[in-house]
Structure 1
Amino acid sequence: MSTPTDRPARARRDPSGRVRASASDLAPLFPAAVRAVLTVLVPLLALCVVGWIASVRSTSSLAAVARVGAELWLLAHGSTVAIVGGSIGIAPLGLTLLAGLSARRAVRMWVRDQVESEREVPFGRALGVFTACYGVLALFVALVSRSGVGAAGLLSSLLGGCLVGGTGALVALWPHRPVVPAFAAAVGRSATTATLVLVALGSLATVAALVHGRADVLALHRALDPGVVGGVLLTLGQALLLPTFAVWALAWTSGTGFAVGTGTSVAPGGTSLEVLPTLPVLGALPAPGPTPGLAWAAVALPVLAGAGAWWLHSRRGPRVEGLLHRCAAALLGGLGAGLAVAVLAAFAAGPLGHGRMSQVGPDALLTGVVVAGEVAAGAVLAVLLARAWRAWRGTTLVVTLPDTSAARGHQRGEEPPKLLGD
C-alpha cells in the first residue's frame, strides 16, 4: 500500500525514469541567460573603455563609451541603431557567433545539472523560457543604452535577442529533442548541412580575397596610422566583421552579389564601386570593372553544396522511402537553406550611416530565394542520380537451372538427401 507522499513522486516521473521538470527546475534558466549576456557584453565594454583611454583626442564621457559598447552588442543581435543623420544596421557576425556560443554554454551547464540530478530536460519548455529571458535582457540593454546620440530599435533588439539566444539554446538542447519523423529529420539535416557548407565556401572565398588583396589592405592600415593600441583594436574589430564578409562572399557565389553603397555592385558579372569607407579590410574587394567569364562558374557552388548535403544525409541520416518523398524532402531542404541564408544576409546587410552608405551588403530576400533554388536543384539532382545509380547497379539477370540430379533420384524412387539436423 502506497502512502500519499509516494503517489506524487511516481506521477512526476517520465517513461525514462527521470523526474519531470517543474517550474522551479526552469527558473535557473533566467540567471543562465544573464550569465550568457554578461559573458560577451562585459569584455566588449572593457575593450571600448581601453580604446577610450588610449585615444588622447576623445572628448566622450565614460557613460557615452559604455553606451557605444552596448550598441555594438545590440548590433550583433540584429538591432538597428539610429544615430544623428542616419542609422547603422550591419551586424558584426563574429560577435554574433560569440553571443550564440555563450548562450549555448549557459544552457549546456543547466542541462548538465538536470542530467546529474536525474531530472527531465524538457526540450520545448526550456527552449522557450531561455529564449524569452534572453530576448527580454536584450530589450533591457536597448532601453538602458538609449540617448540623444544613438538609440537601438526596441522591437529589433527583442526579436534579434530571441533569435540569437534561441539558436544557442537550440544547439545545446538538441540531444534532448523529441523524436521526429524521418521525413522532417531529412529536411532539417539537409538544410543545416547545406547552410554550413555555403558558409564555409563564403569563408574560403573571403580568405582568398584577403590573400589576393593583402597589399592594398596593409597600405590602407598604414595610411590610417592607428598606433599600437588602436591597431590592435582595429584588427580585432575587423576580425569580428570577417563572418559578415563571408556572408557577402556567399551572396557573390550565388550570383546575386552585394553592394557597398547606393548604386554599387560586386557580383560575378562585374564590379562597380565608388569611394569606400576607410576600412582596411575593404581593400580586398575586387577591382572595378568586368570580371572574367570564368567567375560565373562560382554559381555552381551552391548547387554542388545542395547535392553534397543530400548525399551526406542519405549515407548517415534516416532514410526516406519513395522517390516522390525524397524529392519533396530535397526541395524543402533547399527552402530551409534559403531561409537560413536570408536571415544571415539580413544580419549582414543594412545602412552604414546616411546618404550613399545607406545601402550596404546583399539583398536578403533575393539572395535567399536564389540560394533556395540552387540548393534545391542540387539536392533533387542528387536524389535522381542516386536513383539512377541504384537502378543500374541493381539490374541483374537471374537464371534458375533445374536440379537434374534430384529429378533423376525422384524417378528412381529415392528420397532426397537429408540435411544435418532434419
Structure 2
Amino acid sequence: MEKRLVPWIKGIAAAVAAMLIYAVPLGLMTALVLLVAAMEEGSNVLSAQTVPLSKAVILLSEGVGFQGGSIVMGVTPLLLTVLLIALIRTVCTRTSTDPRAFVSGAVVWLFLQHMLMNGLHVRLEDSTGVVMGKALLIYTLGYLLAAVPHMPLLAVAKNYIRRYASAPVRRSIRVGVRTALVLLAGVALVGLGTVIVWIALGHHQMSAWFDALHMQAGSRVLMCVIGLAWLPNVCLWAVSWLFGAGFSIGEAASYTLWSSTTQDLPPLPLFALFPQAIDHDALRTAVMLIPLGLGVAVGLTMLFARSGFHIRLKQDSLDMRSLLMDFAYPAGAFCISAAVLSIVNAIVFPLANGSLGSHRLAHVGVDVRQATNAVARPCSIGLFIAWGAVLAITAVVFAVRWGMARHAAGSHSSSAKPLGEDQVTEKPESTHRVVNSTPQKEKQGDDEPTATTGLGVRIP
C-alpha cells in the first residue's frame, strides 16, 4: 500500500519544490527592486507591495498579463518562462516521471496558482480558467521534457519506425530536423548579435533617458537586470527587424529597415535601444541576405558532412540511378526542414508579443505572418540553392565522365577492328592446309599395300 502512494507523494513534492525554488529568488529580487526604489524616493510604501508584486510576476512569467492603475503589462518575459519550464523538468527528473506523479503534481500546481491569484493588488487580464490552463500547460511541458526520454511508448515508436521505414528515410528525417534546429540556432545567434549592436549604438541615448527620469545608479543597474527577463522577446523582434519584417510598439512606434517612427513612447529607458533605419541600400540588402546565406551554408554542410548525407561522386562512377537517389533524399530532408522552420517560427513569434496598454499600446511586437515569412522563406530557399548548385556541378562532372567513357570505348573498338579481319583471313588458310594434307596421307597409305602385296603367282 505504501509503495502505491510513493509516486503520488513524489508528484506533490515535485510541484511544491519547483514553486519554492522559483518563487523565493524571484520574490527576493522583487523586494530588492522595491527597496532600492523606496530608498531613492524616500518612501516606505513600495516595500509593502513585495508579496503581491511577486505573485503577479510569477503569473506574468506563465503568460498571464496584469493591469495596475494606468500600467498594463502583457508582454511575457520569455527568459523567466524558459527557466521555469527547465526547473520543472529538473525537479521531475530527480523525483519521479510516473504518470501518477504527474497527476498529483499537476493538481498541487493548480492549487498553488489559485493561491497566487488571491491577494493581488492588480487586475489579471485573463479569466480564472485561462490562468489555470496556462499554468497547466507550463507544468505539462516541464514534465514531458523529463518523462518522454524514458517513456516505453518512445521505444515502441522507434521500433515501429525502424521496422517500416528504411535506413535512408530515417536518416533523411533525422537530418531534416537537425538542419532546421541548426538554422534556428543560427537565427537566434544573429538576433542576439543584433541586440548587442543596438546596445552598443544606443546606450548613450538610454543614459539620457535615465537622466531625464532622475534615476540613480542603483535603479539603473536593476532596470538593466530586469530587462534581461525580456531578452528573448527583444531578440525575436531584432530578427524580424533585421530580416525585413520589422516590429512595432503599438501605434506609438514602428521600426523597419527603411523607416523608424516614434510618437509619445512610454518613458521606459529600454525603448531607447531600439534602432534607427538603415540609410545605405547596399548595407540594407546585405543584412536581408543573411538568412539566405545561412541557409546556403547549412545546406552545403549537411550535404557534404559525415553527419549529414556525405555526398561524394565516386571515381569512374556512371550509375545514374544511384546518383539520382543520392540527391532525392536530401531534397526530402530539406522539405522537412522548411516545414519545421515555418511551424516553429509561427509558434515562437506570437509568444514574444503582448500589450502595454488597451488602446495605442494594445499590440507590441511583430506581425507573425510577415516575420515567419521573413525567416523561414529565405532560409528554405538557401537550402534548395545549395542542393541545386551541388546537383548541377555533379551533373556536369557526370556528363564529362560519361562523354570521356564513350569516347574511350569508341577508340578501343576502332583500334580492335583490323585485328579481327586478319584473324578471319588467316583461319581459312590453316583450314585449307589441313584439308590438303589429309588426302595425301590417305593416298600414301593406299599405294603402300599395292607395292608390297601380290596375287601369289610366279611367272617362270
TM-score, normalising length: structure 2: 0.67
| SS of equivalent to 1:268 | coil
Task: Indicate how the Cα distance of structure 1 residues 308 and 163 shifts in structure 2: closer, same or farther if over 3 A, else same.
Answer: farther
Query: Structure 1: which amino acid aligns with 2:10?
Result: P
Q: Which residue of 2 aligns with 1:28?
A: 10
Q: Does 1:59 align with 2:45?
A: yes
The one of 277, 280, 284 aligned to 1:292:
280
Q: Does 1:43 align with 2:31?
A: no
| SS of equivalent to 1:265 | strand
Task: Indicate how the Cα distance of structure 1 residues 392 and 365 shifts in structure 2: closer, same or farther if over 3 A, else same.
Answer: same
RMSD (Å) for aligned C-alpha atoms: 3.9
Take 2:249 and 2:391, find their aligned partners in 1: how far apart are those partners? 44
Take 1:255 and 1:316, find their aligned partners in 2: how far apart are those partners? 34
Q: Does 1:238 align with 2:242?
A: no
Task: Indicate how the Cα distance of structure 1 residues 200 and 23 shifts in structure 2: closer, same or farther if over 3 A, else same.
Answer: farther
Task: Indicate how the Cα distance of structure 1 residues 174 and 88 shifts in structure 2: closer, same or farther if over 3 A, else same.
Answer: same
Q: Which residue of 2 aligns with 1:219?
A: 208
Q: Which residue of 2 aligns with 1:345?
A: 349
Are the counterparts in 1 of residues 179 and 298 from structure 2 also a CA contact under 8 Å? Answer: yes
Of residues 381-390 and 135-144 in structure 1, the stretch that sits farther from structure 2 once superposed is 135-144
Question: Percent of aligned positions with the same letter in both sequences?
Answer: 20
Take 1:197 and 1:134, find their aligned partners in 2: how far apart are those partners? 39
The one of 117, 131, 139 aligned to 1:143:
117
Are the counterparts in 2 of residues 130 and 169 from structure 1 also a CA contact under 8 Å? Answer: no
Equivalent residues in 2 for 1:407-418, closer than 5 Å: none
Q: Which residue of 1 aligns with 2:78?
A: 93
Q: Which residue of 1 aligns with 2:260?
A: 271
| SS of equivalent to 1:380 | helix
Task: Indicate how the Cα distance of structure 1 residues 156 and 297 shifts in structure 2: closer, same or farther if over 3 A, else same.
Answer: farther
Take 1:202 and 1:68, find their aligned partners in 2: how far apart are those partners? 31
Task: Indicate how the Cα distance of structure 1 residues 281 and 128 shifts in structure 2: closer, same or farther if over 3 A, else same.
Answer: same
Equivalent residues in 2 for 1:318-329, closer than 5 Å: 319=309, 323-329=327-333
Take 1:377 and 1:134, find their aligned partners in 2: how far apart are those partners? 48
Q: Which residue of 1 aligns with 2:61?
A: 76
Q: Which residue of 1 aligns with 2:192?
A: 203
Q: Which residue of 2 aligns with 1:8?
A: none
Of residues 30-39 and 231-240 in structure 1, the stretch that sits farther from structure 2 once superposed is 30-39
The one of 347, 350, 366 aligned to 2:370:
366
Are the counterparts in 2 of residues 269 and 296 from structure 1 also a CA contact under 8 Å? Answer: no
Higher helix share: 2
Task: Report the structure number with the largest CA radius of gyration.
Answer: 2
| SS of equivalent to 1:72 | helix
Equivalenced residue count is: 370
The one of 348, 354, 357 aligned to 2:358:
354
Note the C-alpha offset of 1:217: 1.8
Query: Structure 2: which amino acid aligns with 1:38?
Result: L
Are the counterparts in 2 of residues 93 and 244 from structure 1 also a CA contact under 8 Å? Answer: yes
Are the counterparts in 2 of residues 80 and 88 from structure 1 also a CA contact under 8 Å? Answer: yes
Partner deviation per Cα, 1:166-188 (whole Å, 9 max, x = no partner): 55555556765543643443343
| SS of equivalent to 1:272 | strand
Q: Which residue of 2 aligns with 1:407?
A: none
Q: Please, which runs of 5 or more residues in structure 1 have no aligned partner? A: 1-21, 112-120, 405-410, 412-422
Note the C-alpha offset of 1:51: 2.7
Take 1:69 and 1:292, find their aligned partners in 2: how far apart are those partners? 46
Query: Structure 2: which amino acid aligns with 1:67?
Result: P
Note the C-alpha offset of 1:248: 0.8
Take 1:102 and 1:318, find their aligned partners in 2: how far apart are those partners? 33
Note the C-alpha offset of 1:257: 0.5
Partner deviation per Cα, 1:227-275 (whole Å, 9 max, x = no partner): 3543332121122222221111011122110002316321112211123
Take 2:307 and 2:130, find their aligned partners in 1: how far apart are those partners? 36
Q: Which residue of 1 aligns with 2:337?
A: 333
